[in-house]
């Protein structure tokens, strides 16, 4: 008998269980509940449920993680000793990962823009954990699939809320037979997040919030149904594009300025570290109210030597810490003793 395991926030996967195996369905199409691929995780004898399924024996012991987000999840599940490969260490802040790469205990598989296929095949991990749109045959190089390397695709990046992204910890936990631990860890995060969110209900006038800067000629604005819009709202902020329904929208400087010139706070300016540096990209940035009032905050407080921050690396599994930062920024009186963990004041 197969029973569905309840998920509270995540919409892009489903877990079903019976005593012999676990079925994970992936929904790569946000506009429908169409199953784009199905993973079958088994502990002993491999079941025969159909040729279109992807079968993975658990627990896995040698994992190639193609994002720092998943290495952080494995660390939270106390499974990071099973990491044998990553994408590119340049993006990582975690000192233990950096050390293991320098000692050749962890192999880099994508120092450039693409995964090194032959190196991956020779490594032959128990699991190749990466991201995409839900179908390993389309998201991963054909030779890796043909080599029989088990592949799992995550879709946390298309979830629309912080707790939905964080709940993908339960997905990763399945490959190590640590579902109970994944559930309990997520419950702690959920409880903390909702407790913090409840603090903002007393805010009568929400501060107006602008995000991002121009990239090239376009200013890519997160939609009102995005992770960023959701966490700004939960932190008691009034996001200018909260009613925008489409995805990340490219806008001109002029359009953004006309709508958001009177922003109270401006956050997430990529890798900017000072107001002078920001102005060097475009002097017009100094015209925004938040710039004039010294209310610029960037999510790069912790950076490695190459300037890459840990915001997504550990923040996806710790959205309660990010939420606490934003509440302390927008309404300091709600968390008067809070020390910023992911954000810093840009001066």
89-120: pLDDT as tens digits? 999 999 999 999 999 999 999 988 899 999 99
Under 8 Å between Cβ of 290 and 263: yes
Residues 182 and 294: their CA atoms lie apart, in Å, by: 41
Q: Write the pLDDT tens digit of every residue in 330-342.
A: 999 999 999 999 9
Q: Return d(Cα 286, Cα 283) in angstroms, integer.
A: 6
Of 265, 345, 264, 336, the residue nearest 301 (C-alpha): 345
Q: How far apart are CA 342 and CA 62, in angstroms?
A: 30
Residue 220 scores a pLDDT above 90: yes
Kindly give the residue spans of alpha helices, DSSP state H, lying in 115-269: 117-123, 136-139, 142-146, 162-166, 169-174, 179-199, 227-234, 253-260
| The pLDDT of residue 324 | 98
Question: What is the pTM assigned to this prediction?
Answer: 0.96
- Predicted pLDDT at 230: 98
- Give the pLDDT confidence of 169-180 residue by residue, as tens digits: 999 999 999 999
Q: Which residues pair with 16 in a beta bridge?
A: 4, 23
Residue 298 has pLDDT above 90, yes or no: yes
Query: Which of 172, 154, 12 shows the shortest CA–CA distance to 83?
Result: 172
Mean pLDDT of the region 320-333? 98
Q: What are the strands of the beta sheet with 83-86, ordered from one edge?
A: 107-108, 83-86, 63-65, 127-131, 151-154
Go through the domains of the chain in sequence order and give each one's CATH number: 58-188 (3.40.50.1980), 203-345 (3.40.50.1980)
SS3 231: helix
Rounded-to-integer distance, Cα 335 and Cα 124, Å: 48
Residue 263 has pLDDT above 90, yes or no: yes
Confidence of residue 9 (pLDDT cuts 50, 70, 90): very high
What pLDDT does 205 receive? 94
The kind and range of the H/E element at 96 are helix 95-102
In the prediction, which pLDDT does 246 show?
81
**What average pLDDT does the segment 267-291 reach?**
97
DSSP state of 78: T
């Amino acid at each position: 008998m197969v029973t569905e395991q309840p998920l509270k926030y995540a919409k892009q996967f489903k877990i079903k269980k019976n005593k012999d195996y676990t079925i994970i369905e992936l929904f790569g199409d946000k506009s429908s509940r169409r199953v784009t691929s199905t993973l079958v995780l088994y502990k002993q004898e491999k079941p025969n449920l159909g040729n279109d399924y992807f079968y993975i024996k658990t627990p896995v012991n040698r994992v190639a993680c193609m994002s720092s987000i998943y290495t952080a999840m494995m660390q939270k599940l106390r499974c990071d000793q099973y990491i044998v490969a990553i994408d590119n260490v340049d993006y990582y802040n975690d000192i233990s990962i950096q050390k293991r790469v320098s000692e050749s205990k962890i192999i880099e598989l994508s120092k450039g823009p693409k995964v090194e296929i032959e190196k991956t095949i020779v490594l032959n991990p128990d699991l190749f954990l990466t991201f995409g749109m839900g179908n390993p045959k389309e998201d991963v190089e054909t030779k890796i699939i043909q080599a029989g390397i088990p592949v799992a695709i995550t879709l946390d990046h298309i979830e629309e809320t912080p707790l939905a992204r964080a709940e993908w910890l339960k997905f990763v936990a399945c490959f190590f037979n640590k579902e109970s631990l994944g559930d309990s860890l997520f419950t702690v995060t959920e409880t903390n997040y909702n407790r913090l969110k409840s603090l903002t209900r007393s805010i009568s006038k929400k501060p107006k919030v602008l995000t991002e800067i121009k990239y090239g000629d376009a200013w890519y604005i997160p939609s009102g149904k995005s992770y960023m819009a959701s966490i700004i709202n939960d932190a008691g902020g009034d996001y200018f594009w909260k009613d925008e329904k489409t995805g990340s929208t490219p806008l001109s400087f002029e359009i953004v300025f006309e709508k958001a010139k009177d922003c109270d706070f401006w956050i997430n300016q990529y890798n900017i570290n000072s107001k002078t540096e920001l102005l060097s990209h475009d002097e017009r940035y100094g015209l925004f109210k938040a710039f004039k009032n010294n209310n610029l905050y960037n999510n790069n407080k912790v950076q490695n030597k190459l300037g890459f921050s840990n915001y997504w690396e550990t923040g996806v599994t710790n959205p309660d810490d990010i939420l606490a930062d934003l509440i302390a920024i927008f309404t300091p009186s709600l968390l008067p003793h809070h020390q910023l963990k992911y954000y810093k004041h840009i001066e």
